[in-house]
């Protein structure tokens, strides 16, 4: 499998404050790597170094086989970037924003209407961006990241602050790009998003990667699965019972419950990525 | 440096510049208003004096004397007519000879109320001189004039022509606000990071801003000079306007790199305007300011333009102005580049 992004011993500090502390990881072709961590963990600094906006103090970043410290401009023709903050030209229309970037990328026969339709902005092509809602702006940001049909997408908190419908629409666009074979580096502090979209997730805490694996493996390794019963006593009292799965005595406990008690409801539960993050780091993702 | 990218970015900046109603309004207003101001100002200097005379006795020598001294004479029909002409300022002042002026040694001088004290004395002196010219009593006064510096007698510069270099500089410096705003918005809205994540370099971004600055500062000032002054001494004027524009662009970069929003741009802009407009007073009223104004770099723009436009000076005579403008602009560019570099990380 081709490694599209390779990071070795990457380090960055703001003065004496070490923001990214000797991290190493890779992203394979067609893979979505979720970069998960709370605010200030070092996600955006790593993101900026990967897209060539910051020069690492130490370590190496290779994207598409190019060394970012030497060939950033070559790489930037082949990547698409969506920033955490809205940085569109508000006095230009949606179409003008996309056309500007398509020209800078040297895209021939660029069709802004097609891409705007893809992100659900059909009919808004000629409206000035300043008239758009936050959700519409974010969709336009994603559209801008796609103008050069990039091989790699770098998305920094693409759904931050959006309503559930807009977030879901953006997630669907990301998944569609994955289906088209694009490699995606996604930073987020939304564990649901990371779980739903990522092939693998990296947990970053205080500038260090503390875990990196598939969401399934992380849950297997650090989380616990259980069955939760809601039961009815003879005297009419309702109570709850939890049976931990994947243990030697799990089957016996489950069977006993079925035999002895009157079950009102039953559902399985598994640890979320946030639970696992807390377990590993001792702090929450929303801190 | 990719010139295709610079062209694309400059086109984008021009679109944004003219989409900002405030800046497009002051650009057009500046050109139109300054041209109107120029054409409403006097184009000639009045170096002939107009004197009104009303006499109740026949005069024989005064008219001949005045005409031989290039003085325009208005012969009033009555004292009221004379006073009317003075009050309307059709004449500089009036001289009234009553019936008994010879006997009583009397002549009346009629002067507008807003005449300066020095001029009142001069008019009074002329009146007495006329009296003695007519009646033959010579005045026992001797006077000697010595002209120090450039003798501008007969070569006075009309206010309209004095205004040309000043208004051209106003046009240049006003446009720096728009440039500063574009730079500040690019930094504050972080659109610069979107541009830098494409093949565009930071050098291309700021070079395109410089091109925009050149278009918005140089073109209006050239247009103004052509309309008001024509193409005389054009290469020299063009060079000074270009240096003036580069100086203004460097100021625009500096303000844009430190300002956070439009209000702070206007705030910084006001301070800069007030300081940089001071040397203009020296051209409007020579001698009113002392040598200290030469520490203000804008002096070398207006002074250079003034010398070329109003004295037909050669480029050689303004070499020092050119040198100062180049050094100041380069220093300001370096300083603002340093700040901009810090803000793009």
pLDDT of residue B141: 44
pLDDT of residue A37: 87
CB contact under 8 Å between A104 and B194, yes or no, is: no
**B227-262 confidence digits (pLDDT tens):** 998 998 899 999 999 999 999 999 999 999 888 888
The bridge status of strand B93-97 relative to strand B50-55 is: parallel
With a cut of 60, say whether residue B7 has pLDDT above it.
Answer: yes
Nearest to B45 by CA among B160, B161, B156, B150: B156
Q: Which residues sit opposite B74 in a β-bridge?
A: B52
Which residues in chain B (180-239) have CB-CB distances under 8 A to chain A? 189-191, 193-201
Distance CA B251, CA B257 (A): 10
How large is the average pLDDT for residues B310-326? Answer: 90
Name the helix (H) or strand (E) containing A74: helix A68-76
Domain with CATH 3.40.190 in chain B: 50-135
CB interface of A with B, residues 209-268, below 8 Å: none
| Beta bridge partner(s), residue B75 | B53
Are the beta carbons of A104 and B15 separated by less than 8 Å? no
Residue B57: predicted pLDDT: 87
pLDDT of residue B147: 44
Q: Is the ipTM of this complex over 0.90?
A: no
Position of tokens 């849950």? Answer: A219
CA distances from B332 to A225, B217, B252, B339 (A): 65, 17, 10, 11
* pLDDT at residue B227, as a whole number: 92
Q: Which two tokens stand for residue B211?
A: 């091109």
Own/partner long-range contacts of B262-270 (Cβ < 8 Å, ≥24 apart): B262/B22, B262/B181, B262/B184, B264/B184, B265/B177, B265/B180, B265/B181, B265/B184, B266/B177, B268/B180, B269/B176, B269/B177, B269/B180
- Give the model's pLDDT for residue B287: 61
The C-alpha atoms of residue A42 and residue A36 are separated, in whole angstroms, by: 10
User: Cβ separation of A105 and B193 shorter than 8 Å?
Assistant: no
Check A81 against B197: CB less than 8 A apart.
yes
- The answer to whether residue B24 neighbours chain A at the CB level (below 8 Å) is no
Alpha carbon of A19: minimum distance to chain B alpha carbons (Å) = 14
Q: Which residue of A has its CA nearest to B18?
A: A91
What is the mean predicted confidence (pLDDT) over B267-275?
88
- Contact residues, chain A, for B200 at CB < 8 Å: 104
Residue A274 belongs to what H/E stretch?
Answer: helix A273-281
Q: Please give the residue of chain A at the shortest CA–CA distance from B188.
A: A87
Q: Three-state secondary structure along chain B? A: CCHHHHHHHHHHHHHHHHHCHHHHHHHHHHHHHHHHHHHHCCCCCCCCCEEEEEECCCCCCHHHHHHHCCCEEEECCCHHHHHHHHHCCCCCEEEEECCCHHHHCCCEEECCCCCCHHHHHHHHHHHHHHHHHHHCCCCCCCCCCCCCCCCCCCCCCCHHHHHHHHHHHHHHHHCHHHHHHHHHHHHHCCHHHHHHCCCCCHHHHHHHHHHHHHHHHHHHHHHHHHHHHCCCCHHHHHHHHHHHHHHHHHHHHHHHHHCCCHHHHHHHHHHHHHHHHHHHHHHHCCCCCCHHHHHCCCHHHHHHHHHHHHHCCCHHHHHHHHHHHHHHHHHHHHHHHHHHHHHCC
Closest B-chain CA to A78: B198
**Mutate: best of A14, A54, A73, A87, partner B, most B CBs <10 A:** A87
Of A91, A92, A104, the CB nearest to B199: A104
Provide, as residue numbers in chain A, all residues whose Cβ is less than 8 Å from the Cβ of B9: 104
Q: Which residue of A has its CA nearest to B205?
A: A104
pLDDT beneath 50, residues of chain A: none
| Closest residue in B to A52 (Cα–Cα) | B197
Cβ-contact B8, B198 below 8 angstroms: no
Best CA proximity match to B57, nearest among B94, B96, B102, B99 = B99
Residues of B with Cβ-Cβ distance to A78 under 8 angstroms: none
What is the rounded CA–CA span in Å between residue B195 and residue A104? Answer: 8
Which 3 state secondary structure label does DSSP give A1?
A: coil
How does residue B140 score in pLDDT terms, banded at 50, 70 and 90?
very low
Judged by CB atoms closer than 8 Å, whether chains meet at A89 and B191 is answered as yes
Q: What does the pLDDT read at residue B152?
A: 52
- End-to-end Cα separation, chain B, in angstroms: 21
Under 8 Å CB pairs connecting chains A and B tally to 58
- Rounded Cα distance, B167 and B161, in Å: 10
Write the pLDDT tens digit of every residue in B81-102.
Answer: 998 888 887 888 888 888 887 7
Q: Does residue B286 register a pLDDT over 80?
A: no
- Burial of B45 by CB count in 10 Å (0-12 exposed, 13-18 middle, 19+ buried)? middle
Question: B interface mutation test: which of A93, A100, A147 has the most B CBs within 10 A?
Answer: A100
The CA-based dihedral angle spanning residues B4, B6, B11, B15, taken in that order and rounded to the nearest 10 degrees: 150
Quick one: pLDDT at residue B36? 85
Q: pLDDT, tens digit, for every residue of A144-196?
A: 999 999 999 999 999 887 888 888 989 999 999 999 999 999 998 888 888 89
> What is the C-alpha to C-alpha distance for residues A86 and B248, in angstroms, rounded to an integer?
31
Task: Confirm if A119 and A140 have CB atoms less than 8 A apart.
Answer: yes
Q: Which of A205, A283, A216 is nearest to A35 (CA)?
A: A205
Residue A3 CA to residue B219 CA, distance in Å, equals 53
To 5 degrees, how large is the angle CA B187–CA B189–CA B194? 80
Q: What is the mean pLDDT of chain B?
A: 84
Residue A197 CA to residue A194 CA, distance in Å, equals 5
Nearest alpha carbon to residue B95 among B46, B55, B63: B55
> Tell me, what's the pLDDT at A285?
60
For the structural domain made of B50-135, what CATH number should be given? 3.40.190
- Are A83 and B193 a contacting pair at CB < 8 A? yes
Least confident of A259-268, B38-47, B109-118, B144-153: B144-153
Nearest to A257 by CA among A162, B192, A265, B315: A265
Q: What is the DSSP letter of A131?
A: G
Q: What does the pLDDT read at residue B330? A: 94
CA–CA dist B201, B339 (Å, integer): 17
Closest approach of chain B CAs to the CA of A49, in angstroms?
A: 11
CA-CA-CA-CA torsion sign (B63, B64, B66, B67): positive
Residue of A nearest to B196 (CA): A53
Q: Are A248 and A242 in contact (CB under 8 A)?
A: no
Average pLDDT over residues B62-71: 82
pTM over 0.80: no
Q: Which residues of B touch A83 (CB under 8 A)?
A: 190, 193-194
Q: What is the mean pLDDT of residues B187-214?
A: 92
Does residue B142 surpass a pLDDT of 60?
no
Q: How confident is the model over A64-93, as pLDDT tens digits?
A: 999 998 899 999 999 999 998 999 999 999
Res. B145: pLDDT tops 50: no
């Amino acid at each position: 499998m081709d490694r599209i992004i390779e990071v070795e011993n990457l380090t960055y500090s703001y003065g004496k404050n070490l923001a990214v502390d000797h991290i190493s990881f890779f992203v394979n072709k067609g893979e979505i790597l979720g970069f998960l961590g709370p605010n200030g963990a070092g996600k955006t600094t790593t993101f900026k170094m990967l897209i060539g906006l910051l020069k690492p103090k130490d370590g190496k970043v290779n994207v598409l086989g190019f060394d970012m410290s030497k060939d950033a401009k070559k790489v930037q023709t082949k990547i698409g970037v969506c920033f955490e903050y809205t940085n569109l030209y508000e006095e230009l229309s949606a179409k003008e924003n996309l056309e500007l970037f398509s020209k800078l990328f040297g895209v021939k026969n660029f069709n802004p209407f097609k891409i705007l339709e893809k992100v659900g902005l059909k009919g808004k092509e000629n409206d000035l961006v300043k008239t758009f809602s936050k959700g519409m702006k974010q969709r336009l940001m994603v559209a801008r990241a796609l103008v050069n049909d990039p091989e790699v997408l770098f998305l920094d908190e693409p759904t931050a602050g959006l309503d559930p419908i807009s977030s879901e629409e953006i997630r669907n666009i990301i998944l569609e790009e994955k289906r088209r074979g694009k490699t995606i580096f996604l930073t987020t502090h939304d564990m649901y998003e990371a779980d739903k979209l990522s092939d693998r997730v990296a947990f970053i805490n205080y500038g260090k990667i503390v875990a990196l694996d598939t969401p399934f493996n992380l849950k297997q390794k650090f989380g616990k699965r259980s069955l939760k019963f809601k039961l009815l006593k003879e005297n009419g009292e309702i109570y709850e019972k939890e049976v931990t799965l994947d243990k030697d005595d799990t089957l016996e406990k489950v069977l006993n419950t079925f035999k002895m008690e009157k079950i009102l409801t039953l559902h399985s539960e598994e640890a979320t990525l946030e639970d696992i993050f807390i377990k590993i780091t001792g702090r929450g993702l929303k801190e | 440096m990719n010139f295709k990218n610079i062209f694309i970015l400059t086109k984008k900046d021009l679109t944004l510049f003219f989409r900002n109603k405030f800046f497009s309004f002051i650009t057009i207003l500046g050109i139109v208003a300054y041209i109107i101001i120029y054409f409403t100002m006097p184009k000639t200097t009045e170096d002939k004096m107009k004197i009104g005379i009303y006499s109740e006795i026949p005069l024989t020598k005064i008219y001949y004397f005045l005409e031989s001294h290039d003085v325009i004479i208005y012969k009033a029909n009555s004292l009221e007519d004379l006073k009317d002409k003075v009050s309307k300022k059709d004449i500089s002042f009036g001289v009234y000879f009553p019936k008994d002026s010879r006997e009583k040694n009397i002549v009346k001088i009629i002067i507008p109320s807003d005449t300066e004290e020095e001029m009142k004395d001069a008019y009074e002196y002329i009146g007495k001189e006329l009296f003695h010219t007519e009646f033959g009593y010579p005045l026992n006064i001797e006077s000697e004039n010595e002209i120090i510096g450039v003798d501008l007698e007969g070569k006075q510069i009309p206010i309209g022509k004095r205004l040309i270099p000043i208004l051209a500089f106003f046009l240049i410096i006003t446009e720096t606000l728009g440039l500063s705003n574009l730079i500040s918005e690019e930094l504050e809205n972080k659109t610069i990071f979107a541009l830098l994540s494409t093949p565009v370099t930071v050098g291309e971004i700021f070079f395109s801003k410089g091109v925009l600055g050149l278009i918005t500062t140089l073109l209006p000032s050239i247009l103004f000079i052509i309309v008001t002054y024509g193409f005389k001494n054009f290469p020299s004027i063009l060079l000074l306007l270009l240096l003036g524009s580069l100086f203004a662009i460097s100021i625009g970069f500096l303000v844009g790199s430190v300002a956070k929003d439009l209000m702070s741009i206007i705030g910084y802009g006001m301070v800069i305007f007030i300081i940089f407009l001071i040397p203009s007073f020296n051209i409007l009223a020579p001698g009113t300011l002392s040598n200290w104004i030469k520490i203000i770099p804008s002096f070398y723009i207006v002074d250079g333009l003034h010398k070329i436009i109003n004295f037909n000076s050669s480029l050689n005579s303004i070499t020092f102005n050119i040198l100062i403008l180049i050094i100041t602009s380069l220093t300001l560019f370096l300083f603002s580049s340093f700040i901009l570099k810090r803000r793009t990380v």
